[in-house]
Amino acid sequence: MPGISNKGKLMPESPIRKLVPFAEAAKKRGVKVFHLNIGQPDIKTPEVAMEAIRNYSEKVVEYSHSAGNQKYRDKLATYYQKNNIDITASDIIITAGASEAILFAIQSIMDEGDEIIIPEPFYANYNGFATNAGVKVKPIFSHISNGFALPPIAEFEKAVTEKTKAIIVCNPNNPTGYLYSKEELEVLKQIALKYDLYLIADEVYREFVYDGEKHHSVMNLEGLDQHSILIDSVSKRYSACGFRIGCLISKNKQVMATAMKFAQARLSPPSFGQVAAEAALETPASYFTEVVDEYIQRRDVVVQSINKIEGAYCPNPKGAFYVVAKLPIKDSDHFCQWLLEDFAFENQTVMCAPASGFYSTKGYGKDEIRISYVLNTGDLRQSMKILEEALKVYPGRI
């Protein structure tokens, strides 16, 4: 029988989706499963975007330009300018979600065997993107005790080698919800300039910032134009994950010209997604005000509930819609599977993501889970009650 590639064997399994068969089995048994494992918001997609799809009248659904529709990129540049990010359409390549943008970025600036530094825990698919490109991840540990703040500059410098080409951060962060401050971004800028590295910032949760805090973009770091790469997406901003529209942004012309070759190789980004994403730019500001208020309520339910559980701890995140919680358990992978296979409270259970899958270092995150607070507050209160009851009887509790 023909073999499988080494790269395929090394490709990591998604910690977010790998428990799906156990959830499906629980549902077949008649158990209701509350999904806290995946960042799929239940917020309604803006009507203006849905109307654009319904009213599509072209006779042929054509390829777009490989960089994306010019009209969309022009309007998108205006959106960024309103957010004090001074770019033009020529600085933008539209991609099939942020995932493709990250792949294009890594493939454009790194060779096989090169290294990328990432503070962990981090979005699990970064491991997969690195494997895809033959790149090695050098993780820098951030700790739950200080809310997963940026590690000291000395830790980054210890990780830098002659193979290091880039640093990537997600701001606000998935999975922790941590919001990097301007001062922390200045630290990253200092490292990038000192060692001539690229700084890639995944900013897909830009709109979701809480408690009077402000989001600072990598594109606003003075003197870093040739080193900075911005990754963005409409998936979470407009609760439109299925549009599969993201973008790669940089003022570095060489990076963009190289990324364009990868964009041409896959022909073009999704046409209907671009139509909807362009229309979504007309979403009124009131939409985001309501969404942010809703997420704050949801966050507070989760954080306050977990911190009332004996032996558990959850920092209060300032952005995105995730928390990483420390629980009195030995093995989060086993615990999350046990919740679906062997436990139910009032014929209900919860599906969480083991935090071990968000670390690159083996053995980390074994007593932590990631929770996406994308359900309504009533469902979240019930989910937290289920979690509390589960921990009372879980055989692996410590």
Q: H/E/C letters for each residue in 48-91?
A: HHHHHHHCCCCCCCCCCCCCCCHHHHHHHHHHHHHCCCCCCHHH
Looking at residue 18, its pLDDT comes to 80
Q: Please check whether residue 21 lies inside any domain of the structure.
A: yes
Q: Are 278 and 69 in contact (CB under 8 A)?
A: yes
Give the closest residue to 393 by CA, choosing from 329, 332, 307: 329
Count the Cβ atoms, other than its own, within 10 Å of residue 187: 16
Domain CATH code at residue 56: 3.40.640.10
**C-alpha distances in angstroms, 47 versus 28, 182, 216, 344?**
34, 34, 29, 37
243 assigned to some structural domain? yes
Claim to verify: residue 215 and residue 322 sit in the same structural domain: no
Q: Please state, in angstroms and rounded to a whole number, the distance separating the CA atoms of residues 228 and 364.
A: 29
The predicted structure's pLDDT at residue 191: 97
According to the model, what pLDDT value does residue 13 have?
79
Residue 140 lies in a domain: yes
Each residue of 23-51: b (16+ CB within 10 Å) or e?
Answer: beebeeeebebbbbbbbbbebebbebbee
Question: Which residue among 280, 308, 337 closes a domain?
Answer: 280
101 and 13 fall within a common domain: no
Is residue 172 helix, strand or coil? coil
Residues 369 and 256 in one domain: no
Task: Give the pairing type, strands 115-120 and 164-170.
Answer: parallel
pLDDT value of position 14: 78
Instruction: Give whole-number Cα distances, 239 to 52, 53, 205, 245, in Å.
Output: 16, 15, 11, 12
What SS3 class is residue 199? strand
Same domain, 199 and 309: no
The two tokens of residue 150 are 């940026």
Alpha-carbon distance values, 27 to 35, 332, 353 (Å): 12, 21, 18
The residues with which 229 forms a beta bridge, in sequence order, are 200
Domain presence at residue 1: no
Decide if 118 is inside a domain. Answer: yes
Distances (CA, A) of 156 to 118, 130, 161, 255: 9, 18, 10, 24
For residues 244 and 310, state if they share a domain. no
Mention every residue, 6+ apart, whose C-beta is less than 8 A from residue 47: none
Based on the fold, state whether residues 72 and 27 are members of the same structural domain.
no
Report how far apart the first and last C-alpha atoms of the chain are (Å, whole number).
Answer: 46
Domain identity same for 295 and 381: yes
For residue 164, how many C-alpha atoms fall within 13 Å in the half-sphere facing its CB?
Answer: 22
Tens of pLDDT along the chain (398 residues) come to: 899 999 999 998 776 678 999 999 999 999 999 999 988 888 999 999 999 999 999 999 999 999 999 999 999 999 999 999 999 999 999 999 999 999 999 999 999 999 999 999 999 999 999 999 999 999 999 999 999 999 999 999 999 999 999 999 999 999 999 999 999 999 999 999 999 999 999 999 999 999 999 999 999 999 999 999 999 999 999 999 999 999 999 999 999 999 999 999 999 999 999 999 999 999 999 999 999 999 999 999 999 999 999 999 999 999 999 999 999 999 999 999 999 999 999 999 999 999 999 999 999 999 999 999 999 999 999 999 999 999 999 999 99
Which pLDDT score is estimated for 193? 98
Same domain, 125 and 237: yes
Q: How many domains does the chain have?
A: 2
Residue pair 172/179 in contact by the 8 Å Cβ criterion: yes
- Looking at the fold, whether 81 and 217 belong to one and the same domain comes out as yes
- 209 with 123, same domain: the answer is yes
In a domain, 132, yes or no: yes
- Last residue of some domain: 280, 306, 324? 280
Please identify, among 280, 296, 329, the residue that sits at the C-terminal boundary of a domain.
280
CATH code for the domain in which residue 304 is found: 3.90.1150.10
398 in a domain, yes or no? no
Residue 55 placed within a domain: yes
Q: Are residues 209 and 251 in the same domain?
A: yes
Give the residue numbers spanning the domain of 309: 6-44+286-393
Residues 185 and 276 in one domain: yes
